Structure 1
């Protein structure tokens, strides 16, 4: 994930929810731009829990938990880099029901 002013770029492979203007969606990445103080980016774990929440305050993206300016987010710290590609290269079989 990277930041450039009001713009935040992240991989398409991770599960997110955001309130911001979509700028572009290319090469496996999405770039959004903060519109106001209501803009946010929620990064979810593979189990739908919130891994990180970033909000746009005072003209910069900050970590909602620490109120520190966004300085990059290492997806591997939460294991999210491993889950983003599940199902893309591998076909999964449905579970077998034993009666």
Structure 2
């Protein structure tokens, strides 16, 4: 019985360690042409949290012809390689470029 209890406790400790290791999202920092800095955190493959001018914007992945595009209520974040473009969404459905950015190394 003692041996069985040991294996149960050891197994539960391994599972707890695996759970904590997978919870860290990827975070990238960008310097933009205007001098502003943008931070993008990717909690999973379908979402992004973009911090711009001190405000965090939650976004979901959307269709793009090239690169990866995330869309929120007010902003779009489009990345390709080490570059990112932040766009302002308008009521008409169009978007205007706010920032052109490069990932910091």
TM-score, normalising length: structure 2? 0.28
Higher helix share: 2
Of structures 1 and 2, the larger Rg is shown by: 2
Q: Which has the higher contact order (CA 8 A, sep 6+)?
A: 1
Higher strand share: 2
TM-score, normalising length: structure 1? 0.29
